[in-house]
Amino acid sequence: MTIGSTTNSLVATLRIRKKVMNEAPMMPVPTHLYLNEIPSGAHAVVHRIEAADEAMHRLMAMGLCVGRELEVVRQGNPLILRILGARIGVSSRLARHVVVTLS
């Protein structure tokens, strides 16, 4: 997935969210995205990690755990994140297993 298509995907999600909220506030609104889907500069909170134990422990050792706030500094491989003031690189393979909520 390229940065352009990731940005287009995010824009489409935000348009759907706005349209749904304006037309039918009782309908569920898509709020969760995978970490590899959000564009550079976006801020998010980790909602869940869908990875095997070894991969999850590796992410947690880098500070990436449920409830943690983060910023995507740069999309790509590796994905560069800012967590707790530190910059870390996460492979796109691992980023596909991290579900986040935009903040």
Residues 8-40 have pLDDT tens digits of 666 566 565 555 455 555 555 558 999 999 999
Residue 57 sits in which domain range?
31-102
Inside any domain, residue 8: no
Mean pLDDT within 75-90: 94
Inside any domain, residue 10: no
- Domain of 37: which CATH number? 2.30.30.90
Q: Does 78 sit behind a cis peptide bond, omega within 30 degrees of 0 on the bond before it?
A: yes
Inside any domain, residue 19: no
Is the confidence at residue 90, as pLDDT, over 70?
Answer: yes
Inside any domain, residue 1: no
CA atoms within 13 A on the CB side of 43: 3
Inside any domain, residue 4: no
